[in-house]
Amino acid sequence: MVPVTRVVAQGTFDILHPGHLHYLQEAASFGSELHVIVARRENVTHKDPPIVPDRQRATMVEALDPVETAHLGHTEDIFVPIERIEPDVIVLGHDQHHDEAAIADALATRGIDCAVERASALESSDERLLSTGQIIDRILETRE
């Protein structure tokens, strides 16, 4: 029997775009089972809060091919779902504000033994909108 290598990716995933898919495909390549933690609206403090409701964002993420399961984040402690999933690898998005060393230290303090990696950026092109902010800006430009 082949051992399962659990990978965790996490993010807001407000309006899905090619950058999200690239991140999740790359994260999935680190193992055999990709779990995604979708941030709850009240926990998103480093940028504008998501427009799409929590459960809907999780449902959409779980429908993507590379994703085994999507989980909503914990309201008070970001490490609660990590402890439940027991990942071998956590893959951070290329532009996420988290510091790899700080995450690794927090994991070690909690007795969670897993690697922390950083995904690459998806190359931009004139046609692709690679952030939720870009999509919202385009909508506003064309709907005014």
Question: Is residue 19 marked as binding?
Answer: yes
Q: Quick one: 98 exposed, middle or buried, by C-beta within 10 A (0-12, 13-18, 19+)?
A: middle
Which structure tokens are listed for 66?
Answer: 């590379």
> What is the sign of the dihedral through the CA atoms of 38, 43, 47 and 49?
positive
> What is the sign of the dihedral through the CA atoms of 130, 132, 137 and 142?
positive
Question: Is residue 18 marked as binding?
Answer: yes
Question: Is residue 12 marked as binding?
Answer: yes
Round to whole Å and give the CA distance between 9 and 51. Answer: 20
Question: Is residue 17 marked as binding?
Answer: yes
Residues placed in the known binding site: 12-13, 17-20, 95
Residues placed in the known binding site for ATP: 12-13, 17-20, 95
